[in-house]
């Protein structure tokens, strides 16, 4: 196994020897917003987004119930506002209650119209996450 890159070594380590040869040539992980939500949001906002994450009790501010975003906005999911919230926090470098979501802002961008008729180059992972949040909204 010569010429392995650091990344391949990490992948192998993560795979714990399981199907090691397959893992070496595995493509980049596909974007799964449910994974991103679990990794970056659920600790505070809860697995279902209702604000009951395990860290919620330790915070000075109660995490918002993300399933009520549409209901609290006259039934319309406030996509642009939500994205600005997440994106804005990325620029705050951890000064807000929520952590820096830098990794979500990296990678490819797509032209995205959040509902205001203006297409803005937006990181695909952020778009996917916003679309995922839409599916959590209570009717
Ligand atoms: C460290 C805990 C924590 C994490 C992790 C976290 N949040 Fe939050 N979030 C909060 C708290 C607390 C609030 C309410 C106070 C505030 O806005 O700062 C909030 C507010 C929000 C709001 C505003 C809701 C409203 O009523 O306008 C949105 C949207 C949001 N979070 C989305 C997310 C998303 C998406 C993620 C994952 C990428 C995430 N949050 C991760 C703690 C967290």
List ligand 1's pocket residues with C-beta within 6 A: 40-41, 43-45, 55, 59, 61, 63-64, 66, 82, 85-86, 96-99, 101, 129
Q: Compute, in angstroms, the gap from residue 24 CA to the centroid of ligand 1.
A: 36
pLDDT at 20 over 60: no
For the segment 16-25, the average pLDDT, to the nearest whole number, is 44
* pLDDT tens digits for range 25-34: 445 567 799 9
Query: What are 130's two structure tokens?
Result: 């916003």
For 37, other C-beta atoms within 10 Å of its C-beta total 20
Query: How far is it, in rounded angstroms, from Cα 38 to Cα 136?
Result: 13
Query: What are 85's two structure tokens?
Result: 């919230």
pLDDT at 38 over 80: yes
For the segment 53-78, the average pLDDT, to the nearest whole number, is 94
Of 59 and 8, the one with more pLDDT: 59
Q: Which residues fall within 8 angstroms of residue 69, CB to CB, at 6 or more apart? A: 77, 78, 82, 133, 137
Residues of the chain with pLDDT > 70, as a percent, come to: 70
pLDDT at 18 over 70: no
77, 68 contact by CB (below 8 A): no
Q: Compute, in angstroms, the gap from residue 28 CA to the centroid of ligand 1.
A: 28
Q: How far, in Å, are 80, 81, 87, 127, 134 from residue 118 at the CA level?
A: 10, 14, 17, 15, 19
For the segment 63-75, the average pLDDT, to the nearest whole number, is 96
The predicted structure's pLDDT at residue 24:
47
Q: Which of 43-52, 82-91, 118-127 has the lowest mean pLDDT?
A: 82-91
pLDDT at 58 over 60: yes
Closest atom of ligand 1 relative to the 60 alpha carbon: 12
Residue that has been written with the tokens 């010569």 in this structure: 2
For the segment 55-63, the average pLDDT, to the nearest whole number, is 91
Query: How far is it, in rounded angstroms, from Cα 81 to Cα 74?
Result: 14
């Amino acid at each position: 196994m010569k010429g392995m890159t650091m990344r391949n070594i990490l992948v192998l380590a993560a795979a714990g020897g399981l199907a090691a040869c397959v893992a070496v040539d595995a493509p980049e992980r596909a974007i799964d917003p449910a994974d991103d939500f679990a990794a970056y949001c659920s600790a505070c906002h809860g697995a279902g987004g209702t604000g009951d994450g395990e860290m919620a009790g330790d915070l000075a501010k109660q995490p918002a119930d993300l399933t009520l975003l549409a209901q609290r906005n006259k039934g319309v999911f406030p996509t642009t506002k939500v994205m600005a919230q997440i994106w804005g926090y990325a620029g705050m470098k951890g000064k807000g209650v929520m952590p820096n979501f830098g990794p979500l802002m990296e990678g490819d961008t797509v032209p995205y119209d959040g509902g205001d008729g203006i297409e803005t180059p937006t990181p695909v992972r952020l778009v996917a996450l916003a679309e995922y949040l839409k599916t959590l909204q209570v009717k």
